[in-house]
Structure 1
Amino acid sequence: MRVGVYPGTFDPLTLGHMDIIRRGAKLVDKLVIGVATNPSKSPMFTLTERKIQVGREVADIPGVEVVEFDELLMNFAERLGATIIVRGLRGAGDFEYEFQMTGMNRALNEDVEQVFLMADVALQPIASKLVKEIAVYGGDIRKFVPPQVAADVVARVAEQGLRGS
């Protein structure tokens, strides 16, 4: 069985993420969505909330499982028996970051390949950070995230009084 991992913070899950998940799931027998902690980010949603959100949105995609993780990606992949890391690319900025990460990951575990999927052209501008910013300033995010995720984000903005002026 070929196992792949698609890691990310998914805060929030976007239509771009969903595109990569659907396409990545076709490359492997089992695709594990690794919902990660990330000490360099301040998430809007807790790790458990993000796992639930992602799980809800991928429930209809065969062979996809959602797992939380808080460890080195290569250790996580090895523990799962994964041989492929799936990553999405939107543009040159993503490439520079991913190029560096690939080198580091390769040094940690050369048996795990990294596969890059270009995001659908229509979805390339979407970034979780921008979705949150648009929501905080009262913009309509329904074009960028699944409907229930949009509702979750709007509710969180209202709940935390994050709305800007």
Structure 2
Amino acid sequence: MDSPRRALYPGSFNPIHYGHLDIARRALGLFDELVIAIYVSPTKPDLFDIEERLTLVKESFKDEPRVRVASYSKLTVDYAHDVNATAIVRGLRVFSDFELEFRMALANRRLAPDIEIVNFIAAEEHIHISSSTIREIASLGGDVSTMTPAHVVTALKRRFAELKQQGSGSSFVVSLAD
């Protein structure tokens, strides 16, 4: 029996949004299994800690048995080997994404020529969505319900209320004016 075609979809998912969900669902059209891998960066402050991000992503895919959610903190290609993935899935929204993804794909190809890189062009209705945009809007009390699932909206409201009580929170957003 052939082994399942398994792909790795890495990212920070901070927070997960409809663009991520779209890319994952489309990847499931090509692969039997998808490992959504949340990268834990030792140097980057995250709005949600790794346990919260794991919970949010798992909730987003609770009805999809072909999706497994995990975290990792090593080279993506090494983690892809660890989970027996034959491909790495990434999404592209705008031209600047392409440049970064192109360089990462070349580097990953050099490190692990046995792993394919599969890029999906974002669906038109999701091109404007990014985690940083969602964080910015949510930090200012704006409605992000058209960009991310309800359980994520609830988590964002809770987190920004906590940060406001603590007198912090601006380090997790990027100005929309930039």
TM-score grouping bracket, smaller chain normalisation: over 0.9
Give the counterpart letter for 1:60 in structure 2.
D
CA distance in 1, matches of 2:9, 2:123: 17
Q: Which runs of 5+ in 1 are unaligned?
A: none
Q: C-alpha deviations, 1:43-79, integer Å up to 9, x for none?
A: 1000111011100111112311001111100000011
Counterpart among 18, 22, 31 of residue 19 in structure 1: 22
**Residue 155 (structure 1) aligned with residue 158 (structure 2):** yes
Runs of 4+ aligned structure 1 residues displaced above 3 Å come to: none
CA distance in 1, matches of 2:92, 2:43: 20
Q: Which has the larger radius of gyration?
A: 2
Alpha carbons 1:137, 1:163 under 8 Å: kept: no
Aligned residues: CA RMSD: 1.3
Counterpart among 10, 13, 24 of residue 10 in structure 1: 13
Q: C-alpha deviations, 1:116-148, integer Å up to 9, x for none?
A: 001110101100001001111111111110011
Note the 1:7-156 alignment, pairs <5 A.
7-39=10-42, 41-156=44-159
Give the counterpart letter for 1:8 in structure 2.
G
Q: Which runs of 5+ in 2 are unaligned?
A: 171-178
Between 1:64-73 and 1:154-163, the stretch displaced more is: 154-163
How many residues get paired?
A: 164
Q: 1:39 to 1:95 in 2, by over 3 A?
A: farther
Query: So what's the TM-score if we normalise by structure 2?
Result: 0.89
Q: 1:163 to 1:44 in 2, by over 3 A?
A: closer
Alpha carbons 1:34, 1:67 under 8 Å: kept: yes
